[in-house]
Amino acid sequence: MNVKHYGRQQLRRSALAVGLGLCLAGGAAHAQSNTTGGIFGSVENQQGTTVTISSPSTGFTRSVPVEKDGRYRVTSLPPGNYTVTLENNGAAVSSRDNVVVTISNNTSVPFGAAASATQASTLEGVSVTATALPSIDVSSVDTRTVLTAEQLNKLPITRDVLAAALLAPGVIGNSSYKDALGNPVPSFGGSASSENAYFINGYAVTNPLTSIGLTQLPFDAIDQQQVLTGGYGAEFGRSTGGVINIVTKRGTNEWHGGVYTIWEPQGTRASPRNSSYPDTGFYPATDGTLYQYQKRNNYWRSTVGAYASGPLIKDTLFFYVDAEMNRREGEGIATSTTAGAITSASVGRNGWNEYKYKIPRWLAKIDWNITDDHHLELTGVSDKTEYDSKTYGFSYADLAHGDTQNGGVYQKDGGDLYVGKYTGYITDALTVSALYGQQRLDHVQSPFGYDPNCPLVVISTAASRAPGINYGSCQTTSTAVRVPGAEDKTDGWRFDVEYRLGDHDIRAGADRQEAKSFTGTSLPGGFSWTYSQQNDPAGAIDAGHGVGSPAAAGGLGNQGYYVIKSYTTTSAKVKTVQESQYLEDHWQASDRWMIYAGLRNEQFKNYNGANQVYAKQRHQLAPRLGVSWDVFGDSTLKVYANAGRYHLAMPNNVAVRAASGSLNTTEYFTYTGVDANGNPTGLASVPVNQAAGYTCNGSNATSANLECGTAPDPRTVAAKGLKSHYQDEYIAGFDHALSPNWNWGAKATWRQLRSAIDDTCTPALGGACFLFNPGTGNTFLQLQDDGSFVERHYSKDELGLGSLKRKYYALDLYLEHPFADKWYGRIDYTWSRSYGNTEGQLASDLDTGNGGQADVSVTQDWDLPQLMVGANGRLPNDRTHQIKMFGYYQLSDDLRFGINANISSGRPKNCTSFYPTADRGLYNGSFYWFCGLPGQQGYEFSPRGSHGSAPWTYLVNLNAAYTPSWFDRHLTFQVDVLNVLNKQRPTTYNFRYASSRTTPSPLYLRELNYTDPRVVRFTARYDF
């Protein structure tokens, strides 16, 4: 649909290194759930008959027999430290302490003449003693990064789940889509930022309305954060990007508690860059001058938190609770382009913004060891964001703001999540688990002094102001007004069974999640007036939809001035239901070969506001295959490969416009004046040719997608037999231990989007929009005048939209120095290419300052055949080069230093303009892959990504921590400097060359986003 913007492997070493180094790459040799790990190994010469796994911190104990071939394994263990004891007829033969189990990984602990305590190593290669020799994980087939709580506290990163994910190779931040606090939502391997999946303690917490972002939790409550970048098993689905999987801390037999405070003073934050008009060569009055004053846009941020954990009943019942209050207060030019730009009608009333964020978060967890064989855990998470804004007038003449509040808004978003999980060890070979969860998110909005009878006023450009006319506004807000009672709800369950049969670890499971949303917005005052101008008064404003010229309506239209009356109103109660079943087998075929095979089947249903199914996909089979080869049989060189298919569902927001009664119209007038409230006077309607077929209900109001406020019949919304969005992926790589202190490896990745769901409004279908599968033929039910339906198939050529293409290939290299000689370090280099004619579910290239297109899975990409001309090229998430470096140096027991650097080449740049000819049904905007003004000198074909790249970005973060021994190391002081070089590089631009078919845009190539300014963060914490 036409544009609507989105607002704003392996580490190995000691148990100590587990807490400090990154556990990178590597899947489990044996089946594990997304919240547990395991322990396996071999016993030489039949020294024992039983292996007992025990947790001193929780009293948990489990014994398994040693098999005839000398192997043993224990699965579905909660992450933590364990003691592994080999017993012979009840008598202990040998024991290994401090065996660390991490999420979805296994720990290898061998017993035998050649084994010692220093040789016990995790499947991720983490030994139980600091002097262990390195070993490569020879049974992994996927690629992952596992971050522990200690790592998250000790590396200099932004304290945010999304920011932590950027440590993983091949993951970038997409500045066109951000969370409430401005953190970019990550893109994995060229995929759109909506194509990720997020879990907390096994429950899906992906945004149920848009799939962009997630429910967060107190950062200090994270025990481990797993970032899956590819090759993940059949247990995971509903993602064609990456998976962020979080396991929270839990209580033990030891009492622990602590308090912490984190402060980013406003005075330590560097001033952000001002935004200037670009040098277009057409507008000497504005070229290179100030567009938006941002030097005084500054804020302070703080976090105050406390936690406690311990036993309610020793060895049986434990609790953990963490609560924190995050605050941010600042001031500056309002970020909305309708309230902050020099050209704005409202800057004199609401251009200056003073705001406060208050983000209370808490987590509570109960773990109950009913017996050694039966466990129950309950988790509660709360994540709420309150935003309170007060706006005042601002004068660009003297860069001063007023003292009288004229506008503002109070918003509250978020809610609570509750999850329960049962794990049962039925026999030594059989384990079952069951999970159920519910979540509710509320969305409240109260604009200050909001007048529902006062419309929004927008000035397109500085040239849109007619001389001698004062353009004011009585509206106090430029933010879309939410429907009262907006909310999202989810509830879901999953059931998993694991069975060990000889050399096979077999897992099977099923899950279901239902997401409901009540959502909707309208423009402030119900509609807007947008004042515009074009250089040729006699030229049609929008010939493709039958709209005539300004001069034809007289008034100021004779000079090219006109005004647009727009309605953008949505309201719907919608629902999605997602189900899946999977079966997988980890087969240890020999001492050197592990083979993985899995199959996932998924079903998706999407419901409209009348609770009717308008789109569904069934029998979506996703095979997953992998192999790992221990080349020399000594875990020093591993070669691995995997292949898989991954499906993705449409989120709830698709139904808001595609399947509900949305209203999206524009009506054009000329005028002779403007009253004190910003309403045009002397209105004269610009002639419209209604025979073009894009007017609503016989009026002159046009709708490019025929969104006239009437919901379509659900049987006609989507193509029959609609296939889901899915992608194929292939990965091959190796890991090599060069020496005890150095490891390196390489990985090659290929991803190809095979099927997508989007909407098309191609004239072949009459101008309205329908969900379909791009790049192939589609069959639609078409409503006839007599109420009957006719089934009609359209070939790809008849639709005129070409083939679907999104491909990504990459080469990842890493070099790692595990923690030894007081330091740890790792460097990753990724060379990649992401290209095609669609980003996927999103459209970042449409960002003009307010974010990319917000209509997830119903983007503008496939609406018209003309939009696809030149669309093939480098995609917005392409970053050819990425270099990531991080590590730390333990200077003494009291003093530690850390570094985190991310150096990346820039995002591709474009030039888009109007189509060469004003064809029927064309969107009247600078959306097409041409550069210049149609029919004028210099106008040329301009394929996607053909105008170079944004500058390289250089982010270097440093920290230092002091933990005094004279305070028994309970107290820690830490200083982090983020972006120490203060390199504020532009990350994206306004790519729209023209504001009309005859008028260049004064904003073409305006810098939209910059990397954040330097800031200093102070942390003090006391742990006991």
Give the model confidence (pLDDT) of 356-375 as tens digits: 999 999 999 999 999 989 99
Residue 89 confidence (pLDDT)? 82
Does residue 471 sit within a domain? yes
- Residue 108 structural domain: 26-116
CA–CA distance, 31 with 971 (Å, rounded to integer):
40
278 vs 335: CA distance, rounded Å:
18
User: Is 773 inside any structural domain?
Assistant: no
Cβ atoms of 726 and 754 closer than 8 Å: yes
Q: Please state, rounded to an integer, the average pLDDT across all residues of the chain.
A: 90
Helix, strand, coil percent values for the chain (each to nearest 5): 10, 50, 40
d(CA 263, CA 261): 7
Mean pLDDT value across residues 298-303: 96
Q: How many domains does the chain have?
A: 3
Give the model's confidence band at 686: pLDDT under 50 very low, under 70 low, under 90 confident, else very high. Answer: very high
pLDDT per residue over 758-778, tens digit each? Answer: 999 999 998 889 999 999 999
Q: In the chain, what is the straight-line distance between the N-terminal and C-terminal CA atoms, in Å?
A: 56
pLDDT (tens digit, 9 = 90+) per residue, 768-804?
A: 899 999 999 999 999 888 888 999 999 999 999 999 9
Among 207, 225, 255, give the residue marking a domain's end: 255
User: Does 478 share its domain with 529?
Assistant: yes
Least confident of 335-339, 363-367, 743-747, 954-958: 335-339
* Structural domain ending residue among the three candidates 646, 666, 683: 683
User: Average pLDDT for residues 825-836, to the nearest whole number?
Assistant: 97
Task: Give the span between the Cα atoms of 126 and 11, in whole angstroms.
Answer: 7
Averaged pLDDT for residues 41-49: 78
With 50 as the cut, is the pLDDT of residue 187 above it? Answer: yes
Q: What confidence tens digit (pLDDT) does each residue in 706-729 have? A: 999 988 899 999 999 999 999 999
* Amino acid 563: pLDDT: 97
- Binned at pLDDT 50, 70 and 90, residue 584 comes out as very high
Whether residue 1013 is predicted with pLDDT greater than 70 in this model: the reply is yes
SS3 257: strand
Instruction: For residues 107 and 152, state if they share a domain.
Output: no
Burial of 691 (0-12, 13-18, 19+ CB in 10 A): exposed
Bridge partner list, 579: 512, 603
Q: Tell me what pLDDT residue 29 has.
A: 39
- Which band of pLDDT confidence, cut at 50, 70 and 90, is reported for residue 87? confident
Place of tokens 């904003």: 1003
Confidence at 69, pLDDT banded by 50, 70, 90? confident
pLDDT tens for 378-417 read 999 999 999 999 999 888 888 899 999 999 999 999 999 9
Strand segments, DSSP code E, in 550-704 are: 561-569, 572-588, 593-607, 613-630, 637-648, 663-670, 673-674, 680-681, 684-685
Q: Which residue has the tokens 């009585």?
A: 474
Cβ(860)–Cβ(2) below 8 Å: yes
Domain for residue 1020, yes or no?
A: no
**Chain centroid to CA 961:** 31
| Percent of the chain residues past pLDDT 90, beyond the cut | 73
Whether residues 551 and 672 share a domain: the answer is: yes
Residue 731's pLDDT band (cuts 50, 70, 90):
very high
Q: Final residue of a domain: which of 255, 290, 325?
A: 255
Q: For strand 528-533 and strand 456-459, is the pairing parallel, antiparallel, or unpaired?
A: parallel
pLDDT of 125 over the 60 cut: no
Where residue 140 falls among pLDDT bands split at 50, 70, 90? confident
Q: Is residue 94 part of a domain?
A: yes
How far is it, in rounded angstroms, from Cα 317 to Cα 310? 9
Nearest to 843 by CA among 860, 864, 821: 860
Answer whether residue 1017 is part of any domain.
no
Min mean pLDDT across 323-337, 341-355, 624-638 is at 341-355
In this structure, are 149 and 57 located in the same domain? no
The residues with which 884 forms a beta bridge, in sequence order, are 828, 902
Mean pLDDT within 224-228: 94
Question: What per-residue confidence (pLDDT) applies to 21?
Answer: 37
Q: In what order do the strands lie in the sheet with 203-204?
A: 23-24, 143-148, 222-230, 243-248, 197-200, 203-204
- pLDDT confidence bin for 32, thresholds 50/70/90: low
Question: Per the structure block, which two tokens stand in for 92?
Answer: 């202990």
In the predicted structure, residue 886 carries a pLDDT above the cut 50: yes
387, two tokens = 């935003």
My answer on whether 156 and 221 are in the same domain is yes
Asked if residue 23 has pLDDT above 50, the reply is no
Task: Tell me what the mean pLDDT of segment 440-446 comes to.
Answer: 96
The pLDDT, as a whole number, for residue 74 is 86
Per-residue confidence (pLDDT) for residue 343, from 0 to 100: 55
Where residue 206 sits, what CATH number does that domain have?
2.170.130.10
pLDDT at 874: 98
Contact criterion met (CB below 8 Å) for 609 and 660: yes
Whether 128 contacts 8, CB under 8 Å: no
- Tell me 702's DSSP state: B
The Cα-based distances of 554 to 353, 560, 684 in angstroms read: 39, 10, 7
Query: CA-based angle 54:56:59, to the nearest 5?
Result: 70
Assess if residue 147 is contained within a domain.
yes
Question: What is this structure's pTM?
Answer: 0.91
Does 101 lie in the same domain as 42? Answer: yes
- 138-152, 331-345, 739-753, 979-993: segment of lowest average pLDDT: 331-345
When pLDDT is averaged across residues 439-446 and rounded to a whole number, the result is 96
Across the strands, what pairs with 780? 792
Mean pLDDT of 506-523: 96
Residue 549, token pair as written in the block: 């010229």
| Domain membership flag for residue 674 | yes
Residues 41 and 175 in one domain: no
**3-state secondary structure at position 78:** coil
**Is pLDDT at 137 greater than 80 in this prediction?**
no
- The reply to whether 161 and 110 lie within a common domain is no
Q: Residue 695: inside a domain, yes or no?
A: no
**All residues at 6 or more sequence positions from 825 whose CB lies less than 8 Å from its CB, including other chains:** 816, 817, 885, 886, 887
- Co-location of 33 and 108 in the same domain: yes
CATH number of the domain bearing residue 97: 2.60.40.1120
Residues 174 and 99 in one domain: no
One-letter amino acid of 533: Q
Say yes or no: 200 and 241 in one domain.
yes
For residues 258, 259, 262, 265, the Cα torsion angle rounded to the nearest 10 degrees is -150
pLDDT score recorded for residue 108: 75
873, pLDDT greater than 80: yes
Q: Are residues 147 and 102 part of one domain?
A: no
Contact (Cβ atoms closer than 8 angstroms) between residue 422 and residue 436: no
